Every structure is written in structure tokens, then in C-alpha cells.
């Protein structure tokens, strides 16, 4: 059974470390994900161990500094997880906010990246391919899915344990304690702004005045039920264009629903079981979204008596219309009216597919 993320800590004395916050939080730690040890390292002599020595203060501060991006920035999920390694930092600067090595401060951190994907968070870690003379080599590699609420709880728990250790060691006010207090004391309006900025890939604490004004003018006007998808998809530079496209697309999708000849209820009934089981934890962990989608597609094909590899035209169930003009990065808008589905697209629709069982 999946056990999520666990950080095992043994606090140690560090008499040679001058910075009080680093000395107080010196530890031997092990990081485990889904029952696998991420911090397995190979030492210079070729021996292996499961723990790493260093201060956990930089890690806690990194979590606090990047809290909103770690919990709300879904856009990196569009990049193949095979590229989520620290060696790709120049190509993907967002890794600095999602990969543990962004914590830096001269400590040894595993090459682990965490990206939220809605209800689940995907975690990927890679082994070091090359040995740097005198340095540890992280030898573990793997992937896991954990519930996003569990991931947030684990991240917050790390910060709190470090803060508790600082208090026990009589270390005074630190940047970490200030940052964490600001996060905890943020009101609803501030949290909404921080998450909106994070979903767009912005550091909420470094947004310039022009962008702040744009977000405050545009985002609150987006309907609540559409806001997250809008922020996950729209282009920042053309946010106003995307916002103007939404109501036109909504109207077009409602009209397009009248073009659908068949009601959705039979299809909905066919996939009801898969919808209910879509994000449950079983012996192998969380079900991946594409597996759920494939299972739903198979259920629909079985209900309609359609072969697994036969081209399947969905136009009888989905009416579609194309809108001319820029959409600000948005690709489509779906609406259901009178049990008929309508779709407004920024590009011409192509419904038939021969791609396997889906």
C-alpha cells in the first residue's frame, strides 16, 4: 500500500557550524516516497547508505518561499517527467521552485521534483549519473503519485518541525518564521491572489505592479467554476484576450449543444463506475488519469457495441463550433444543455480517431 511521503529526522549537534539556524537544525535525515528511499547515496569508497547529513533549515525555507508554486503550479505537468531533472534547469527555470536542489545553501539534496496536478501530486526523482570527486552520489530513482492534500501536509510538517527545533534551541526570529507566519495569516483575498499568480507560473511575492493590476482586474471576473482551468491554460501576456474569449465561447458552446443528435445520459451511465473510482488509492497506489480515461473509453465502446480499434466518431454526442480570432492560449470550452454537449473551439475540430482502445 502506498505510504506517501515521509521525512525521517535525527537531530544532531553541529559545533563547527556558525550560523545558529543551520547549527540548530543539523540532522541525519532520510526521505522516503511510496515506501522507497530517495536519499540512498553512494559514498566515495563505493559503500551505500540511506541517510544524508546537513541542515534542514534551507529545505524548510525553500518550501515556505515556494509554497504557492509547490501547491498550485500545475503547468509543468505538460512537460514529460523524464525532463524533470536538475540538469535541465536552464531549459526549464521552473525547476528551481519544484526541485529540492533549489534549496541549495551548500547542502546535499536529492534530484527530486514535485508538481501538483489537481487532486494528485506527481513526484519524480533521478539518480546522479556522474560522480563529482569527494561528493555523494544519489543512487535512487523513481516516480510516485501522492494525494495533493497529503503532499501539502507533509511539506507543512517539515517546516513546522524545523520551526519547533529552532524554538527548542532558543534561536530567535528568522526569515523562515516570518515567511511562514505570513502564509498562515494571509486572508482569503490574498490567498486567492497568491494561488492565481502561482497557477500562471509567477512568484506571488515578486509580481510587478503592472501584472498585479492585470490580475486584480481580470481574474475576479472569471466565474468561480472556470477560474482554475482558465489560469492553468491562458497565456499571461494575452490574459485579457483569453478573458474576452470566454463568454463568446460559452455562448457558442451552448448553441453547439443543439447540434448534438444524441443525449449524454447513456454514455454517462456507462462510465459511472469509472468516475466513482477515478482517484481512489489501491494496492498499487493512485490510479493515473490516463488509465482512468482508457477504462472509461472502453466502457463507452462496450456499451455502444463498438470495437476497440474501430474509428469512433463522437460528433453524434458533441456539437462543435469554431470561433475565429485569438483565444489567448485557450483551446476550447464545453457546455452541457438539455443533456446535449456543445464544444466551442479556437481551432477546427477533428473527431474521428483510430488511436487504440480510447
Helix ranges (DSSP H) in the chain: 20-24, 57-65, 67-72, 95-98, 148-168, 175-185, 188-199, 209-218, 224-233, 239-257, 265-270, 272-277, 289-304
pLDDT of residue 281: 43
Q: Is residue 319 part of a domain?
A: no
Q: Is residue 72 part of a domain?
A: yes
Residue 265 domain-assigned? no
pLDDT at 262: 84
Residue 341, by phi and psi: left (phi above 0), alpha (psi -120 to 50) or beta? Answer: beta
| Distance from chain centroid for Cα 16 | 39
Measure the CA–CA gap between 164 and 256, rounded to whole angstroms: 58
**What pLDDT shows up at residue 277?**
56
* Domain total in the chain: 1
How far CA 90 is from CA of 93, 96, 241, in Å, comes to 6, 10, 30
Strand bridging mode 340-345 / 318-322: parallel
* Residue 243 counted as domain residue: no
pTM of the model: 0.85
The radius of gyration of the chain's CA atoms, rounded to the nearest angstrom, is 24
The answer to whether residue 89 is domain-embedded is: yes
pLDDT tens for the 358 residues of the chain, in order: 346 899 999 999 998 899 999 999 999 999 999 999 999 999 877 789 999 999 999 999 999 999 999 999 999 999 999 999 999 999 999 999 999 999 998 899 999 999 999 889 999 999 998 766 567 899 999 999 999 999 999 999 999 999 999 999 999 899 999 999 999 999 999 999 999 999 999 999 999 999 999 999 999 999 999 999 999 999 999 999 999 999 999 999 999 998 888 888 888 787 776 655 554 443 345 566 667 778 888 888 888 888 888 888 888 888 999 998 899 999 999 999 888 899 999 875 554 433 333 3
Instruction: State residue 118 phi and psi, 5-degree precision.
Output: 85, -120
Phi–psi pair at 107, nearest 5 degrees: -90, 160
Q: What residues have CB less than 8 Å from 68, skipping those under 6 apart? A: 194, 195, 197, 198, 204
In a domain, 192, yes or no: no
Cα–Cα distance, 322 to 349 (Å, whole number)? 7
Structural domain contains residue 161: yes
Task: Look at residue 157 in the predicted model and tell me its pLDDT.
Answer: 97
Residue 179 cell numbers, joined: 515567511
Query: Is residue 310 assigned to a domain?
Result: no
Can you give the residue range of the structural domain that contains 155? 5-185
Q: Check: CB of residue 33 under 8 Å from CB of residue 113.
A: no
Amino acid at each position: 500500500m502506498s505510504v506517501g511521503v515521509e521525512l525521517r529526522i535525527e537531530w544532531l549537534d553541529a559545533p563547527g557550524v556558525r550560523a545558529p539556524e543551520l547549527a540548530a537544525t543539523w540532522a541525519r535525515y532520510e526521505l522516503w516516497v511510496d515506501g522507497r528511499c530517495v536519499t540512498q547515496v553512494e559514498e566515495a569508497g563505493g559503500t551505500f547508505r540511506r541517510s544524508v547529513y546537513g541542515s534542514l533549515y534551507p529545505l524548510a525555507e525553500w518550501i515556505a518561499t515556494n509554497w504557492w508554486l509547490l501547491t498550485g503550479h500545475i503547468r509543468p505537468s505538460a512537460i514529460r517527467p523524464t525532463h524533470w531533472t536538475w540538469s535541465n534547469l536552464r531549459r526549464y527555470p521552473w525547476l528551481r521552485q519544484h526541485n529540492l536542489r533549489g534549496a541549495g545553501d551548500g547542502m546535499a539534496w536529492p534530484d527530486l521534483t514535485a508538481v501538483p496536478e489537481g487532486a494528485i501530486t506527481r513526484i519524480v526523482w533521478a539518480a546522479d549519473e556522474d560522480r563529482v570527486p569527494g561528493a555523494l552520489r544519489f543512487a535512487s530513482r523513481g516516480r510516485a503519485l501522492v494525494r495533493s492534500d497529503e503532499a501539502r501536509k507533509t511539506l507543512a510538517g517539515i517546516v513546522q518541525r524545523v520551526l519547533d527545533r529552532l524554538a527548542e534551541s532558543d534561536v530567535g526570529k528568522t526569515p523562515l518564521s516570518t515567511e511562514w507566519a505570513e502564509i498562515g495569516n494571509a486572508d482569503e483575498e490574498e490567498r486567492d491572489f497568491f494561488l492565481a499568480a502561482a497557477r500562471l507560473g509567477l512568484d506571488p511575492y515578486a509580481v510587478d505592479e503592472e501584472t498585479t493590476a492585470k490580475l486584480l482586474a481580470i481574474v475576479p471576473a472569471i466565474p468561480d467554476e472556470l477560474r482554475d482551468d482558465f489560469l492553468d491554460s491562458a497565456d499571461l501576456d494575452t490574459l485579457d484576450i483569453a478573458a474576452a474569449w470566454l463568454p463568446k465561447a460559452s455562448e457558442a458552446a451552448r448553441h453547439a449543444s443543439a447540434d448534438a443528435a444524441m443525449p449524454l445520459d447513456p454514455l454517462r451511465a456507462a462510465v459511472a463506475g469509472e468516475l466513482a473510482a477515478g482517484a481512489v488509492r489501491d494496492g498499487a497506489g493512485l490510479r493515473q488519469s490516463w488509465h482512468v480515461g482508457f477504462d472509461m473509453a472502453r466502457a463507452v465502446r462496450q456499451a455502444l457495441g463498438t470495437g476497440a480499434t474501430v474509428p469512433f466518431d463522437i460528433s453524434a454526442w458533441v456539437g462543435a463550433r469554431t470561433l475565429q480570432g485569438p483565444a489567448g492560449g485557450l483551446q476550447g470550452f464545453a457546455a452541457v444543455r438539455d443533456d446535449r454537449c456543445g464544444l466551442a473551439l479556437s481551432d477546427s475540430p477533428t473527431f474521428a480517431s483510430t488511436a487504440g482502445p480510447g
